[in-house]
Structure 1
Amino acid sequence: MSEASKTLIVLRALALAGSLLVTACGSIVYKQNIQQGNVLDNEDVEALELGMTKRQVRSLLGSPSVSSPFHQDRWDYMNTYSARGGEPTKRLLTLEFEEGALASMSGNYLEEESIASEALDELQDAEETPIQDLESLRSEDDQGGPGT
């Protein structure tokens, strides 16, 4: 057996071992939380009132996920949230309008705490110091503030 063929066999064995190692580590790949659709704050959903106009609802909640041309008086706000590759949790808020005014609301956004809203609340912890903009940091430096 020549030196070149021995080197080729060793390289093939290393490539095979490397590919087996990479496929074996596939289960420890980081998976992020996946959120799709409309994320509605609980305060905004609770602020909905029967009799609101479509314009008021749109400014409060944003555009609906589904707005059918065949059912112009029905808006659906949908959200799915999957925590790190787990089973997705589905949220739905259906709003029905009559003569341009909100007539009825249904869906599980009204029944249970929104996981998406809880995640937003955790990110916006009131006790944390807010991030300052660049101009306020510069003015503190000019005045001999906390940065100096």
Structure 2
Amino acid sequence: MTTPVEAEPIFECFVYCIIALFASPRGLISPMRHFLCVLAVFAMTGCNLVYKQDIQQGNVLDEDSVTQIEMDMTKRQVLVLLGTPSVRSPFHSDRWDYVNTYARRGGDPIKRVLTLHFEQDRLVSLEGSYLEQDSLAAQALRDMQAPDEAPIQDLETIRRDN
């Protein structure tokens, strides 16, 4: 990246090329001037290009680890599976937050959170948007949080059969 001091000579060269193109008699320029103008144009286009890298912050949890979480696990077991949480609130010692922010090359950041709640050193609930809705881990979390109940039709047929 060029500093303002370095950019001034390039800008002056660019202005000189523009003046040379239009101020020369009958619009003719020498091959050397033409080469310098083209070189200045390429130099100016290179000044504006800034490389932006992907930015990953926070805990990166893989799907396999998250799918292995089960209710009634101890804090130690969860710690082994997921690692140290991003946030441990001093006011809520039984709440762990795993936060991840990902921004792709200067784009809008995507924030994902997985919040675990413990009671008496045991996992009692989890919530969050850490995983995409279509992933296997997200489906496993949904199944674990709200297990499928038998449909009402099946219960009625069971009652009739008995």
Report the TM-score range of the alignment, normalised by the length of the smaller protein. 0.5 to 0.7
Rounded to whole Å, the distance in 2 between the matches of 1:43 and 1:65 is 19
How many angstroms does 1:112 deviate by?
2.9
How many angstroms does 1:111 deviate by?
4.8
Rounded to whole Å, the distance in 1 between the matches of 2:127 and 2:64 is 16
Residue in structure 2 matching 1:107, options 111, 128, 145: 128
Aligned 8 A contact 1:45 1:110 in 2: no
- The yes-or-no answer on 1:52 pairing with 2:73 is yes
Rounded to whole Å, the distance in 1 between the matches of 2:130 and 2:60 is 10
Between Structure 1 and Structure 2, whose CA radius of gyration is higher? Answer: 2
Deviations 1:86-126 (A, max 9, x none): 00000000000011000000001245368xxxxxxxxxxxx
- The yes-or-no answer on 1:31 pairing with 2:52 is yes
Q: Is the deviation greater in 75-84 or in 26-35? A: 26-35
* Residue type of the alignment partner of 1:32: Q
How many angstroms does 1:28 deviate by?
2.0
Cα RMSD (Å) of the superposition? 2.5
Q: Where does residue 66 of structure 1 map in the other structure?
A: 87
What SS does structure 2 have at the residue aligned with 1:28? coil
TM-score, normalised by the number of residues in structure 1? 0.60
Identity of aligned residues (%): 56
Q: Which has the higher contact order (CA 8 A, sep 6+)?
A: 1
What SS does structure 2 have at the residue aligned with 1:49? coil
How many angstroms does 1:18 deviate by?
2.0
Quick check: which one's helix share is greater? 2
Deviations 1:39-94 (A, max 9, x none): 00011111110000000000100000000111000000000000011000000000
Rounded to whole Å, the distance in 1 between the matches of 2:80 and 2:56 is 22
Aligned 8 A contact 1:37 1:65 in 2: yes
Aligned 8 A contact 2:59 2:100 in 1: yes
Number of aligned residue pairs:
101
Deviations 1:4-45 (A, max 9, x none): xxxxxxxxxx96242688786454211110000000001111
Structure 2 stretches lacking a partner, 5+ long: 1-5, 13-39, 136-162
Aligned 8 A contact 1:78 1:91 in 2: yes
Q: How does 1:1-148 map to 2 (within 5 A)?
A: 16-18=8-10, 25=46, 27-112=48-133
